[in-house]
Amino acid sequence: MSSSYGLVRFLVVILLLQFAGMAQQNPAVHEAGSHNIPTQIPGRDAILMGAAWYPEQWPESRWEEDLRLMEAANLKVVRIAEFAWSRMEPSEGHYDFDWLERAIALAAKHHIISVLGTPTAAPPAWLTQKYPETLRVEENGQRVTHGNRAHGSVTSPKYRELCRKIAEQMAIRFGHNPNVVGWQIDNEYGYALMSYDDLSRKLFQDWLKDKYKTLDDLNTHWTTEYWSEKYDDWQEIPIPVGGHNPGLMLEWKRFVTLEWDDYQRNQIDVIRQYAEPRQFITGNLMGFFDGFDHYVITKPLTFASWDDYVGSGHVDPDRNGLTHDLTRGFKRENFWVMETQPGAVNWHAVNSFLNRGEARAMAWQAIAHGADDVNYWQWRSALNGQEEYHGTLVGPDGTPVPFYDEVKQTAQEFSKAENAFRGTTVMSQVALLYSYDSHWAIQSQRHTRNYDDIALLESYYRDLRKLSQSLDVISPYAPLETYKLVVAPSLNVLPQDLAEHLLEYVRNGGHLVLGPRSGMKDQFNGLLPQRQPGFLVDALGGRVEQYYALEKNLPISGTWGSGEVSTWAEQIKVNAPDAEILMTYGKSNGWLDGQPAVVTHPFGKGRITYIGAVLDDKHMTTAVEWMVKTSGVTAAFGPVPDGVEVSRRVGAGKQVYILINYSGENRQVAFPHSMKMLLQNKEGASADLPPYGVEVLVDSK
Ligand code: GLA
């Protein structure tokens, strides 16, 4: 990587940030389309904290006290109404929004803004009774009954019509309400559950017909000569329920994605028609949930948000940080944490409580990774209903539980530090590529049950994040030119257009690192008629001769030292004279003995590296050290002690660093130079952090 490339990138970033800074002072520039931060609400704190509140579950006489307690805890956001359909439309076509309007107004009186959820994850009993086709059919052919949630059928036209109507009525009523800042569509997209009925099947078949045009084309791409899978009529094509043709399975996932996208657009369009443009529209996603392609789903949203739950045990800062970065990468924008757990959930194997201070660390980690809002789910448990045991901020008696004070402290800190975060976002030199097509392709044919592509992504993340201290997780199709290093741990589906995109990046000076199983499949989930990495073989100057699922670990040695690989090993053959073998297998199954495991090759102005095995932790560390050094990646902050996470957010003329101590012990962190510590309110060149300790540093140099 040339140093001039780094300099150009740096200058571009600075210019962009200067422009963003100007935009903040000058609304005209804003309107001219400069990069604003859509997650930050004009006229409000740049970072916010809130809770899910269900006024419909309580007598109106109680609301004031709830809101008073929220205000006292410095909460500034409520998300409301996402399960209140039966209250808002008690019978078909009869709407009652007066109570909601009063709740929003009362919240505003306590300086709390409202996000309205459309209630479509919980259609009322009158609706499903009158129109039984709106209820989902499960894989076993049974129609679900009323009384849970996510029971609507995403493909039912009647259901769509009724969803649109309630969203429309809400938008007409609240689209201009100054205290409503935005919308959440549905709730967790009904977990992307599909209805396995005749209509869904017909829609899937029609969609395939539209996509492939001819059955010949479909049969060719899915190689249906295999096992007599050949289709002579579109109506013969089934909904896959497992164990089906890989082409069919991947297309079903894409169809599911588009159905949910269509489902949300049905509501988004009508909200946009009536709501002021200042009101955002988001959807609450679920991290690595893989029911649909999140890059597609988040396209029509103003920004992405997600529900950050630990479940049993304690927060794993790498996994949680990775999931924040994944969410930020959906739209390559800041995001919101729409829900997070107030201590404990009620749905895990052991619903253990977070340690004291842990939730505060989690909340700050969200901000550190680009969130501008963190909301607790939920304010108070309904006295009956499926979630009686879930964590809350107030108890069944309506008074604060011990956890309330931790939220209050964190929310006060948010207010204290908010100005530093205004106009800031995360900017990284390194990107990890995550593709739903590749994930689904591997999931449908794992070859070894031990190959977990998300765990592998995480193992790359751990060391890359530690060394670079700032990392993006993005779609392989995202623009790559600003990155010094791009790593694709399992880019299994790698069609020609994607290969071209990656090659362009490498030709212009980027360093692309591919992990095992990369470049094996086309867009139909079929094998490419080349060896791995498919269209990148020439650029790599080598190819995969054979892959092996491993029963036990294998020795490996070379530039990154000696150690072991597990799970998966690929035997690579080098063709180009200037391709360099970095690692070689030791004695193993005979086939792999002495064969290349890792190869790197200069290409254009850049470099392409292929790692054909799952590295052990020690090797991952040395491999990442090599990648970072070879690509000229620099750390965002500088050395920090083990167990301390440092993150950076960048804005016009300022850099904000967030330090979080996850080590369980006291840690002292030395800064590169003196900075302002916002939480301790002093200037200095080092900070002492107790376990779960947090500090926010502003560097205006
Ligand atoms: C999900 C839902 C919430 C609630 C929480 C409980 O995230 O969106 O309605 O059920 O889980 O943890």
pLDDT digit string (tens) for 386-417? Answer: 999 999 999 999 999 999 999 999 999 999 99
Q: Span 449-455, mean pLDDT? A: 98
Q: Span 630-643, mean pLDDT? A: 98
Q: What string of DSSP letters covers 81-145?
A: -TT-HHHH-SBTTB---HHHHHHHHHHHHTT-EEEEEP-TTS--HHHHHH-GGGB-B-TTSPBPP
Q: Span 511-526, mean pLDDT? A: 98
Q: Span 315-344, mean pLDDT? A: 98
**Residue 64 C-beta-side C-alpha neighbours within 13 Å:** 1
Q: Span 221-233, mean pLDDT? A: 98
Give the confidence band of 5 by pLDDT, cuts at 50, 70, 90: very low
Q: What is the pLDDT of residue 36?
A: 84
Nearest of 280, 285, 375, 378 to residue 324 by alpha carbon? 285
Cα torsion 237, 243, 248, 251: sign: positive
- Output the residue whose Cα is nearest ligand 1's atom 10: 387
384: Cα separation from own chain's centroid: 32
Q: 571-583 burial string, b = 16+ CB within 10 Å, else e?
A: bbebeeeebbbbb
**Is the predicted pLDDT of residue 2 greater than 90, yes or no?**
no
**Is the predicted pLDDT of residue 318 greater than 60, yes or no?**
yes
**Is the predicted pLDDT of residue 311 greater than 60, yes or no?**
yes
In the reported structure, the alpha carbon of residue 309 is separated from the centroid of ligand 1 by a whole-number distance in angstroms of 9
For 178-203, how does the pLDDT look when each residue is reduced to its tens digit (9 = 90+)? 999 999 999 999 999 999 999 999 99
* Residue found by looking up tokens 């376990």 in the block: 691
Q: What string of DSSP letters covers 19-82?
A: HHHHHHH-HHHHHTT----TTSPTTS-SSEEEEE--GGGS-HHHHHHHHHHHHHTT--EEEE-T
**Is the predicted pLDDT of residue 432 greater than 90, yes or no?**
yes
Q: Span 411-424, mean pLDDT? A: 98
Asked if 555 and 564 touch (Cβ cutoff 8 Å), the reply is yes
In the reported structure, the alpha carbon of residue 633 is separated from the centroid of ligand 1 by a whole-number distance in angstroms of 39
Residue 692, sorted as left (phi over 0), alpha (psi -120 to 50) or beta, turns out to be: left
Confirm or reject: Cβ of 336 under 6 Å from ligand 1.
no
Q: What is the pLDDT of residue 75?
A: 98
- Residue 124 structure tokens: 């009322």
Is residue 257 helix, strand or coil? helix
Q: What is the pLDDT of residue 17?
A: 40
- For a pocket test of ligand 1, which of 85, 187, 305 has the largest count of ligand atoms closer than 8 A to its C-beta? 187
**Is the predicted pLDDT of residue 141 greater than 80, yes or no?**
yes
Confirm or reject: Cβ of 338 under 6 Å from ligand 1.
no
Nearest of 278, 229, 237, 233 to residue 255 by alpha carbon? 237
Nearest 5°: phi and psi at 480?
-115, -5
In the reported structure, the alpha carbon of residue 377 is separated from the centroid of ligand 1 by a whole-number distance in angstroms of 7
In the reported structure, the alpha carbon of residue 441 is separated from the centroid of ligand 1 by a whole-number distance in angstroms of 29
Alpha-carbon span 662 to 585, nearest angstrom: 36
Cα torsion 448, 453, 457, 459: sign: negative
545 counts as catalytic: no
Nearest 5°: phi and psi at 165?
-65, -45
Q: Given the CA of residue 284, which atom of ligand 1 is nearest to it?
A: 8
Give the confidence band of 15 by pLDDT, cuts at 50, 70, 90: very low
Q: What is the pLDDT of residue 592?
A: 98
DSSP state of 421: H
Q: What is the pLDDT of residue 700?
A: 75
Q: What is the pLDDT of residue 242?
A: 80
Q: What string of DSSP letters covers 437-493?
A: HHHHHHHHT-SSTT--HHHHHHHHHHHHHHHHS-EEEE-TTS--TT-SEEEETT--B
Query: What's the chain's average pLDDT?
Result: 95
Q: What is the pLDDT of residue 332?
A: 98
In the reported structure, the alpha carbon of residue 22 is separated from the centroid of ligand 1 by a whole-number distance in angstroms of 40
71 counts as catalytic: no
Confirm or reject: Cβ of 289 under 6 Å from ligand 1.
no
For 268-281, how does the pLDDT look when each residue is reduced to its tens digit (9 = 90+)? 999 999 999 999 99
Percentage, residues of the chain above pLDDT 90: 94
Asked if 450 and 456 touch (Cβ cutoff 8 Å), the reply is no
Alpha-carbon span 658 to 163, nearest angstrom: 42
**Is the predicted pLDDT of residue 109 greater than 90, yes or no?**
yes
Alpha-carbon span 530 to 513, nearest angstrom: 19
Q: Given the CA of residue 82, which atom of ligand 1 is nearest to it?
A: 9
- Output the residue whose Cα is nearest ligand 1's atom 5: 377
Alpha-carbon span 684 to 693, nearest angstrom: 17
Q: What string of DSSP letters covers 329-375?
A: HHHTS-EEEEEE-SS--SSSSS-PPPPTTHHHHHHHHHHHTTEEEEE
Confirm or reject: Cβ of 83 under 6 Å from ligand 1.
no
Percentage, residues of the chain above pLDDT 70: 95
661-665 long-range contacts (CB < 8 A, ≥24 apart) are: 661/361, 661/689, 661/690, 661/691, 661/692, 661/693, 661/694, 662/315, 662/317, 662/361, 662/692, 663/691, 664/691, 665/691
Confirm or reject: Cβ of 463 under 6 Å from ligand 1.
no
Q: Span 293-301, mean pLDDT? A: 98
Task: Name beta bridge partners: 613.
Answer: 569
Give the confidence band of 6 by pLDDT, cuts at 50, 70, 90: very low
For 561-614, how does the pLDDT look when each residue is reduced to its tens digit (9 = 90+)? 999 999 999 999 999 999 999 999 999 999 999 999 999 999 999 999 999 999
Rg value, the chain, Cα = 26
Q: What is the pLDDT of residue 35?
A: 56
* Residue found by looking up tokens 């000696």 in the block: 562
120: Cα separation from own chain's centroid: 22
Q: Span 128-156, mean pLDDT? A: 97
- Residue 178 structure tokens: 């100054």
Nearest of 380, 382, 420 to residue 403 by alpha carbon? 380
Task: Name beta bridge partners: 585.
Answer: 556
Q: What is the pLDDT of residue 33?
A: 32
Q: What is the pLDDT of residue 118?
A: 98
Give the confidence band of 28 by pLDDT, cuts at 50, 70, 90: very low
Q: What is the pLDDT of residue 504?
A: 98
Q: What is the pLDDT of residue 243?
A: 86
Asked if 351 and 389 touch (Cβ cutoff 8 Å), the reply is yes
**Is the predicted pLDDT of residue 55 greater than 90, yes or no?**
yes
